[in-house]
Structure 1
Amino acid sequence: MTAASLGSGPGDGVSSGVTLREILAQDEDGILHLVLAPSGQDDTVVHGVIIGEEDAARPYAGHLVLAAGLRPDAVSAPDMVREAARRGAVAVVLRSGGGDSMPEPVLAAARESGIALLSRAEWAEWGDTLELVRSALAFGAVGSQDSLAEGAAGGGLAVLASVVARYCRASITVEDTQFRVLAHSATSADADGLRQSTILGGRVPEWRVAELRRSGLLRALWSSRDVIHRPADETDPERLVVAIRSGGEVLGSIWAAADGGQLSPDAAQVLRRAAEIAVPYLLQHRLRGSTSRRRQAHALRGLLLGEGDRHSHMWSLELAPDVPCAVVVAERDRASGPAAVRTLQALALQAAAHRATVRVWRESHRLTVLLPVPDGDERDAPHLARELDSLAAAMPDAPAVWVGAGTLAVSPSGAADSYDEALLVVRALREREARAVRPGSSGSTGGRAEQQGPIRHAGPGDVRQTVAVLRVLDAIRPLWERYGGPVQEMVTTDLAAGGELVRSLTAYLDAAGDMSRAAQRLVLHPNTLRYRLRRVRERFGIDLDDPDTRLVVTLAVRLAGSDAPDHHEYEGF
Structure 2
Amino acid sequence: MTSRASLPPEPSVALREVLAFDDGGSLRLLLAPAGRDIGVRGVAVGDEGPARPLDGCLVLVTGPPASAPEAAGPVREAARRGATGVVLRAVEGVAAAPQVVAAAEEAGVALLVRAEWADWTDTAALLRSALACVRAGRDDDRGTGWTAAGGPESLSALAAAVAEYTGGSITIEDTRLRVLAHSATGPDADALRRSTILGGRVPEWRVAELRRSGMLRTLWTSRDVIHRAADAEGPERLIIAVRSGPEVLGSIWVAGDGRPLRPDAPAALRRAAEVAAPLLVRRRLRESGAARRSELALRGLLYGDGDARTHAWSLGLSPDAACAVVVAEPLAAGRSDAGPPVAASAPDGRALDVAALQAATYRPSVRVLRDGGRLLVLLPVDAGAERGAEPGAAERGVAERGVVALARELAGPGRDTGLLAGAGPVAAGAAGVRGSCEEALLIVRVLRERVGAGSPLRAADAAAVGPSLDVARVLDAARPVWEAGRGPVHDLVRTDLAAGGELVRSLAAFLDASGDVARAAARLVVHPNTLRYRLRRARERYGVDLDDPDTRLLVTLAVRLSG
TM-score, normalization: structure 2? 0.86
Closer/same/farther in 2, CA of residues 323 and 57 from structure 1, 3 Å limit? same
- Paired AA for residue 122 in structure 1: E
Mapping for residues 510-549 of structure 1, pairs under 5 Å: 510-549=512-551
- SS of 1:34's equivalent? strand
2:149 and 2:76 map into 1 onto residues whose CA distance is 43
Aligned length: 530
For residues 219 and 425 of structure 1, the distance between their equivalents in structure 2, rounded to whole angstroms, comes to 47
Secondary structure of 1:487 counterpart: helix
> How do 1:383-532 and structure 2 match up within 5 A?
383-390=405-412, 393=414, 398=417, 401-434=419-452, 436-437=453-454, 450=455, 454-532=456-534
Q: Deviations over 1:131-160 (max 9, x none)?
A: 221232232133174643389846421232
In 1, Cα distance between equivalents of 2:262 and 2:56: 42
Deviation at residue 407 of structure 1 after TM alignment = 0.7
Amino acid of the structure 1 residue aligned with 2:13 = V
Unaligned runs of 5+ in 1: 438-449, 562-573
8 A contact 2:67–2:94 mirrored in 1: no
Name the CA shift for 1:389/1:218 in 2 (closer, same or farther; >3 Å): closer
Q: Which whole-Å CA distance do the structure 2 matches of 1:200 and 1:535 have between them?
A: 81
**1:66 CA drift (Å):** 0.2
Contact 2:295 2:369 in 1 (8 A): yes
Q: Residue 270 of structure 2 corresponds to which residue in structure 1?
A: 272
- Aligned counterpart, 2:391: none
- Counterpart amino acid of residue 125 in structure 2: E
State how far apart, in whole Å, the 2-side matches of 1:188 and 1:386 are: 52
Verify the 8 A CA contact 2:173 2:179 in the aligned structure 1: yes
Contact kept in structure 2, 1:221 and 1:243, CA below 8 Å = yes
Name the CA distance, whole Å, in 2 between partners of 1:534 and 1:502. Answer: 13
| Aligned ranges 1:313-332 → 2 under 5 Å | 313-332=311-330
- CA distance in 2 between counterparts of 1:188 and 1:405 reads 54
> Shift of residue 321 of structure 1?
1.8
For residues 482 and 222 of structure 1, do their structure 2 counterparts lie closer, same or farther at Cα, with a shift above 3 Å needed? closer
SS in 1 for 2:463: coil
State which drifts further: 280-289 or 531-540: 531-540
**Alpha carbons of 1:152 and 1:110: their partners in 2 closer, same or farther (altered >3 Å)?**
closer
Mapped partners of 2:115, 2:202: distance in 1: 36
| Structure 1 partner of 2:31 | 36
Residues 69/180 of structure 1: CA separation in 2 closer, same or farther (3 Å cut): same
Q: How does 1:300-319 map to 2 (within 5 A)?
A: 300-319=298-317
Residues 166-205 of structure 1 mapped to structure 2, 5 A cutoff? 166-188=164-186, 190-205=188-203
Conserved? CA contact 1:59–1:87, under 8 Å: yes
1:163-215 Cα shifts (integer Å, max 9, x gaps): 32233332211122332322222334653232233334433345434544554
Q: 1:524 to 1:188 in 2, by over 3 A?
A: farther
Instruction: For 1:37, give the aligned amino acid.
Output: A
Letter of the 2:242 partner, please give it: I
Which residue number corresponds to residue 246 of structure 1?
Answer: 244
Aligned to 2:559: 557
For the 8 Å contact 1:537–1:543, the answer to whether it is kept is yes
Taking the TM superposition and a 5 Å limit, the aligned residue runs for 1:141-156 are: 141-143=135-137, 145=140, 147-149=145-147, 153=151, 155-156=153-154
Deviation string 1:233-287 (CA, Å, 9 cap, x unpaired) is 0111111112212233332210011133332343223222211211111111222
1:324 partner amino acid: A
Q: Which moved more, 1:74-83 or 1:545-554?
A: 74-83
Residue of structure 2 equivalent to 1:164:
162
Distance 1:39 1:457 in 2: 61
Structure 1 position 218, deviation (Å): 4.0
What does residue 40 of structure 2 align with? 46
Whether the aligned pair in 1 keeps the contact of 2:137 and 2:150 (CA below 8 Å) is no
CA contact (8 A) 2:225 2:269 kept: yes
Please state if 1:380 is matched with 2:380: no
Paired residue for 2:351? 343
Paired letter, 2:349: V
For residues 435 and 548 of structure 2, the distance between their equivalents in structure 1, rounded to whole angstroms, comes to: 38
Q: Structure 2 CA distance, aligned partners of 1:243 and 1:261?
A: 24
Contact 1:152 1:159 in 2 (8 A): no
The alpha carbon displacement at 1:93 in A equals: 0.7
**1:368 aligned counterpart, secondary structure:** strand
SS of the residue corresponding to residue 539 of structure 1 reads helix
Q: Residue type of the partner of 2:406? A: L
CA contact (8 A) 2:134 2:149 kept: no
- 1:54-94 Cα offsets, whole Å, 9 max, x none, are 44543222210001124446665323222322322111011
In structure 2, do the counterparts of structure 1 residues 189 and 553 end up closer, same or farther at CA, with 3 Å as the change threshold? farther
Contact 1:239 1:258 in 2 (8 A): yes
CA positional deviation for 1:31: 1.9
Q: Residue 86 of structure 2 is aligned with which of 80, 86, 92?
A: 92
Alignment of 1:334 with 2:342, yes or no, is no
**Partner residue, 2:128:** 134
SS at match of 2:361: helix
Which residue number in structure 1 is paired with residue 75 of structure 2?
A: 81
Residue matched to 1:567: none
1:289 Cα deviation from its structure 2 partner? 3.0
1:328 Cα deviation after fit:
0.9
Q: Is the 8 A contact 1:71 1:94 kept in 2?
A: yes
Where does residue 109 of structure 1 map in the other structure? 103
Distance 1:188 1:522, change over 3 A: farther
Q: Is the 8 A contact 1:243 1:250 kept in 2?
A: yes
Counterpart residue number, 1:298:
296
Q: Which has the higher contact order (CA 8 A, sep 6+)?
A: 1
8 Å CA contact 2:412–2:419 kept in 1: the answer is no
One of 211, 222, 225 as aligned partner of 2:223 = 225
Which residue type is aligned with residue 53 of structure 2? P
CA distance in 2, matches of 1:187, 1:507: 78
CA apart distance, 1:299: 1.8
Q: Check whether the contact 1:14–1:141 (CA below 8 A) recurs between aligned residues.
A: no
| Aligned position for 1:64 | 58
Distance of aligned partners of 1:428 and 1:266 in 2 relative to their CA distance in 1, 3 Å threshold? same
User: CA distance change for structure 1 residues 530 and 557 in 2, over 3 Å: closer, same or farther?
Assistant: same
User: What is the CA–CA distance in structure 2 between the aligned matches of 1:498 and 1:113, rounded to whole Å?
Assistant: 62
Counterparts of 1:24 and 1:34, CA distance in 2 = 8
Q: TM-score, normalised by structure 1?
A: 0.85
Contact 1:17 1:140 in 2 (8 A): no
Cα drift, residue 553 of structure 1? 1.4
Distance change in 2, residues 1:489/1:433 (3 Å): farther
Which whole-Å deviations, capped at 9, do the CAs of 1:360-410 have from their partners, x for residues lacking one? Answer: 22233322111222455222221111001116x28xx84x63210111111
Q: Is the 8 A contact 1:15 1:140 kept in 2?
A: no
Output the CA distance in 2 between the equivalents of 1:58 and 1:428. Answer: 55
* Equivalent pair of 1:406/1:422 in contact (CA under 8 Å): yes
CA distance in 2, matches of 1:64, 1:167: 37
Q: Which amino acid aligns with 1:421?
A: E
**Counterparts of 1:222 and 1:430 in 2: how far apart (Å)?**
45
